[in-house]
Amino acid sequence: MLFYVTRRLLSAVVTVLLASVMVFAAVQLLPGDVATQVLGQDATPEAVAALRDQMDLNRPAVLRFLDWIAGVVRGDFGVSLVSGEAVAGTLWLHLRNTMLIAVATVAVAVTSSIVLGVLAGLYRDRWPDTVISTLTLIGMSVPEFVVATLLVLALSITVPVLPAVVLDEASAPVADLLPAIVLPTVALSVVMTAYIVRMTRTSVIDVMAGEFVTTARLKGIGTARVVVRHALPSALLPTLNVIAMNVAWLVGGVAVVENVFNYPGVGQLMLEAVHNRDLPVLQAIAVVSAVVYVLCNLAADLGAMALNPRLRTGERSTR
């Protein structure tokens, strides 16, 4: 067990390192450098030269990468080429804001999808299942930018009860951001719920057909109790994976939704960084997202082990 966890942690470190090297190499391929990008239409050769010098862009990429790695080990992500401020501080604020949406979304999506999934599983092929499955299918089939756009139209413009965009910047207090997270959370929850419901439904059906539920029923235990005490924990097991993946997706990939709402999160920061060729920021985002991804996977695996005794001893053959 301990050996397994250590191995997983080590391989996680390798994964994160590899990912950062890939991002670094790919960003080197981006046409145009940060100096021309920052200056835009004002990129006269003189201005570009001055800025390049100022940004220390004239050193070889490999040296800059090594410097950077050395800094990261000390917890220093370097300085943004664009704003000149420490990347760590900026990234932390944006990460905090994204986590705000992510936590809310996971809470909403997991709760609603477990309720809906159990309902659909219990009423398999009857009308509640049909309704839930149809809604799920639609949720999976509509891009989140459509959901976001429709929500803004309905709840910000037609009936103005919620803000259409976030006016606050990344450093705003959490309390100020709270009203602004409602619409992004709803938009993301719709998509996420759709995926988890399918998972939960299948698990519930599997479990309810299983032997120990039949045994429990024979013992005369009521349906509600069977579901809560026996079916649900087993049904949650495979769902953990989906949830873990979705958390990673939320942290790394909600650029479109953040863009629609002008929300100062990681996605927004990433779009800006790609636009500006702001290498240190991109690198930091890639590393942090990779860490989140790896941690989520690890947590899901460990959670699965905790829930399922059979997995605790098994050395896995596929790796």
Q: How many residues bind another protein (CB under 8 A)?
A: 97
Whole-angstrom CA distances from 71 to 53, 64, 210, 289 are 21, 11, 53, 18
Q: What does the alpha-carbon distance between residue 139 and residue 137 come to, in Å, rounded to a whole number?
A: 5
CA 76, CA 270: separation in Å to the nearest integer? 19
Distance in angstroms (rounded) separating the CA atoms of residues 145 and 134: 20
Residue among 58 and 141 whose Cβ is closer to another protein: 141
CA 98, chain centre distance (Å): 9
Which residues 59-98 are close enough to bind another protein by CB under 8 A? 80, 82-84
Nearer to another protein, 171 or 215 (CB): 171
Q: Of 213 and 240, which has the nearer Cβ to another protein?
A: 240
Does residue number 151 form part of the binding site for another protein (CB under 8 A)?
Answer: no
Q: Which two tokens stand for residue 299?
A: 């947590």
Stretch of 61-69, 99-107, 221-229, 279-287 contacting another protein, by CB under 8 A? 279-287
Does position 24 interact with another protein (CB under 8 A)? The reply is: no
Q: How many helices (H) and strands (E) does the chain have?
A: 16, 0
Is 135 one of the binding residues for another protein (CB under 8 A)?
Answer: no
Quick check: 124 binds another protein (CB under 8 A)? no
Nearer to another protein, 27 or 216 (CB): 27
Q: Is 126 in the site for another protein (CB under 8 A)?
A: no
Residues 213-272 that bind another protein (CB under 8 A): 238, 241-242, 245, 251-253, 255-256, 259-262, 267-268, 270-272
Q: Are 121 and 200 in contact (CB under 8 A)?
A: yes
Cα 92 to Cα 33, 191, 266, 308: the distances in Å are: 25, 26, 9, 35
Among residues 149 and 223, whose Cβ is nearest to another protein? 149
Residues with Cβ within 8 Å of residue 23, at least 6 apart in sequence:
282, 283, 286
- 152-211 residues in contact with another protein (CB under 8 A) are 152-153, 156-157, 160, 163-165, 167-171, 195, 198-199, 202
Stretch 286-315 residues interacting with another protein (CB under 8 A): 286, 289-290, 293-294, 297, 300-301, 304, 311
